Amino acid sequence: MKKRLIKKINKVRIDNILNQISTNFTITQKIYGNGYFIFTFGQNTVCHFILKETPLWKYGIWLDKKEFKIFGEHEWLIDKFKPSRTYLSYENDMQSFIKEVKAINQYPKLYFVDSLTSGDALIAYKKEDWGDGEFSYKGYQAIREFNEETQLWNKFRRDESITQQKFVNKKWEEYCKQREETKQGHEFDRKFAFDFFKTIPKIFSYITAVGIYDRDRNGWKCSPRYDIKIVVDNNMIQEKFDNLYDELEKFIWDKNNSDERKSYEHQFSLFGLYDDVKDIKDCNYKYCQQPPTLKG
């Protein structure tokens, strides 16, 4: 009874926050949760939502007793979606949150680049004192150079010819180009990996099937991404089994670390050898061939 009451109270608290937001924006999606990653905060203490006015931006609310945190980030730049790792992050301050979301709506490219560059797009040139005689500069006119005396990249100068618009356009174009190259690299590596998976049963004798388990499921990102499970003929003698395992392990390792690859997105490794096709029933992809006839 107490848990149901707390769940209801938390939902009401979040809905009251969302109602304030909906007076300025259109909420197109909202999902209630109980925590972050493997950490549980309590029933309905978390809510993620999307606003029509700021495409590709994701927002969140975390409740904490009588207080709350509200935060947001562009989906392309999300690393860990929590208040301490997002561009927008406020505690009990709806007015500032709404004001900044309005600015994002009005100048989407500017605020995307400001998040991308950790706050350089909105500042021309500013000195930051880190204490103990350590300092640096930030802003779209700050140029970092290599310091021959210290052998570090800790030398700064100001280039007043750089305008905010020029800076934003340059960073936006660089990011889009890099994003497209990364996408193409991922597509190439996926094809590279699956072409390889399909050839394994054809290259090695005594292999009857290959199962591929994709570990990137339900929001998880794993490396290596794919587990390779291999089924061999169950009449294989132990000595041949051991030799085949060693040969496969080296063969798969070499292929996974090939210079042909363009990214680390679709890596794979040998998970194990089995003697029954039922052992790969949980795999997402399966490649089979007729077992060879063993003699002797």
Express each pLDDT in 120-131 by its tens digit. 999 999 988 877
Query: Model confidence at 42, in pLDDT bands (50, 70, 90)?
Result: confident
- How many domains would you assign to the chain? 3
296 domain residue, yes or no? no
Question: Are 233 and 282 members of one domain?
Answer: yes
- Which residues are within 8 A (CB) of 14 and not within 5 positions of it... i.e. 6 or more apart? 32, 44, 47, 61, 63
Question: Are 35 and 75 members of one domain?
Answer: yes
Cα(291)–Cα(293) distance, integer angstroms? 7
**pTM for this entry:** 0.83
90 domain residue, yes or no? yes
What secondary structure, in 3-state letters, does 19-85 show? HHHHCCCCEEEEEEECEECCEECCCCCEEEEEECCCCCEEEEEEEECCEEEEEEEEHHHCCCCCHHH
Question: Are 97 and 115 members of one domain?
Answer: no
Cα(167)–Cα(140) distance, integer angstroms? 6
171 domain residue, yes or no? no
Express each pLDDT in 208-248 by its tens digit. 999 999 999 876 788 999 999 999 988 888 888 889 999 99
Domain, as residue range, for 223? 182-288
Mean per-residue pLDDT, 129-142: 85
Looking at 86, 106, 126, the residue that finishes a domain is: 106
